[in-house]
Amino acid sequence: MLDRSRHPVPQPMQIGRTTFEWGTRTYVMGILNASPDSFSGDGLVDPDEALRRAEAMVAAGADLIDIGAESTRPDFDAVDADEEWRRLQLVLGPIRRALDVPISVDTSKAEVARRAVEYGANAINDVTGCLGDPGMPRAIAAAGVPVIAMHNQRGREFGGDVMKDVRAGLREAMTALMTAGVPEERIIVDPGYGFGWGPVRDFEMLRRLEELKRLGRPVLIGTSRKSSIGYVIDRPAQDRVFGTAATIAIAIANGADIVRVHDVEEMVRVARVTDAAVRPAANGLPA
């Protein structure tokens, strides 16, 4: 379990109207897929249903909502920026107008990121670490919003050490962002659980998550319903809530600041109980 006294706590970060006080508790990000081919089978293209799901996530305790309009599953069908924006706009607009919750947009395209921020998104979540589109770092800098930079192992050669590869990839992403003018204080890092590793290395990443604290940035992780969990418990994506809960608890114990999840109500409870064990002073528990 992470020894939090060994690592400096990043400064608070403003996302939308919410101040995220790192180290005080775990924040929960609810996943809302606006693509018809989501790996977890929860893709939505109907604006009314998307709004209802977002409202339910907020009611269940989600601290922010992450909306994506292009699948990132293995062998996904890529769409161009116009089609991605068409899907995204349909659900982002109603949710932004109805809810005050911080919204991040999951995209690797600079043009979609620009449009999303203009339309009310408060952060960008890029599964390529802002390295897939050369214009993304400049777009983030110009937008002035926080960014979640993920290490993506797909297409990369394994260097022999999971966390060494992750840290190297994230340093590359951070360098590109800061060179473009994005302040380090606006960067959140994600190790890319499930993106090109396989079950053995996914779980090794989870065990060694504390090592990401060396980067000095808040850590987000998305284990929810991933195939490595299905490999262990032999259940389809929609029936991996208990397996996901185990990974979320381990991630929090090892330093995760944000957990990205499909099953918000259940994972909020997991996060609160895990926080009670790993952050008792911050949760007002009686002696």
Q: What percent of the chain has pLDDT over 70?
A: 92
* Joined tokens for residue 38: 């989501």
Cα distances from 265 to residues 33, 118, 132, 193, 284, in angstroms, run 17, 30, 33, 22, 22
Between CA 56 and CA 101 the distance in angstroms is 12
Residue from 114, 115, 138, 260 carrying the catalytic annotation: 260
Indicate whether 40 pLDDT > 60: no
Strand ranges, E, within the chain: 13-15, 18-20, 27-33, 64-68, 103-106, 123-126, 147-150, 187-190, 220-221, 258-261
| Predicted pLDDT at 75 | 62
What's the pLDDT tens digit per position in 220-262?
Answer: 999 999 999 999 999 999 999 999 999 999 999 999 999 999 9
Strand ranges, E, within 107-179: 123-126, 147-150
What's the pLDDT tens digit per position in 257-277?
Answer: 999 999 999 999 999 999 999
* Joined tokens for residue 242: 């208990």
Residue from 25, 114, 226, 240 carrying the catalytic annotation: 226
| Predicted pLDDT at 35 | 79
Those residues whose C-beta lies under 8 Å from the C-beta of residue 59, and which sit 6 or more positions away, are none
Indicate whether 43 pLDDT > 70: no
Task: Tell which residue, 115, 37, 30, 110, has the closest CA to residue 69.
Answer: 37
What's the pLDDT tens digit per position in 116-136?
Answer: 999 999 999 999 999 999 999
Task: Tell which residue, 158, 156, 149, has the closest CA to residue 190.
Answer: 149
Fold of 4-278: TIM Barrel (3.20.20)
Asked if residues 194 and 227 have their Cβ atoms less than 8 Å apart, the reply is yes
* Joined tokens for residue 141: 């800098």
Between CA 57 and CA 31 the distance in angstroms is 9
| Predicted pLDDT at 41 | 44
- As a whole number of Å, the CA-based R_g of the chain is 17
- Between 69 and 139, whose confidence is greater? 139
Asked if residues 250 and 206 have their Cβ atoms less than 8 Å apart, the reply is yes
What's the pLDDT tens digit per position in 272-283?
Answer: 999 999 987 666
105 confidence band (pLDDT: 50, 70, 90): very high
What's the pLDDT tens digit per position in 187-208?
Answer: 999 999 999 999 999 999 999 9
pTM assigned to the model? 0.93
Q: Is 260 among the catalytic positions? A: yes
Q: Is 217 among the catalytic positions? A: no
Between CA 249 and CA 213 the distance in angstroms is 17
* Domain map (residue ranges) of the chain: 4-278
Between CA 28 and CA 165 the distance in angstroms is 26
- Between 35 and 90, whose confidence is greater? 90
